[in-house]
Amino acid sequence: MDPAEPRFKPKPVKIIIEKHADGYVAYPVGIKGVVLGEGDTYEDALRDVRSALKFHLETFGPDSLDAEEPVLEAFVAEAAV
DSSP 8-state code for residue 31: -
What is the C-alpha separation between 63 and 76, in angstroms, rounded? 27
pLDDT score of 12: 79
Cβ pair 57, 39 in contact under 8 A: no
Task: Residue 15: name the closest of 63, 39, 7, 81 by CA.
Answer: 39
Task: Report the DSSP pairing between strands 15-20 and 37-39.
Answer: unpaired
- Domains contained in the chain, CATH given: 1-81 (3.30.160)
pLDDT score of 30: 79
Angle at CA of residue 79, ends 67 and 40, nearest 5° = 65
pLDDT (tens place) for every residue of the chain, 81 residues total: 555 555 666 777 889 999 999 999 999 987 877 889 999 999 999 999 999 999 988 898 888 777 667 778 878 889 998
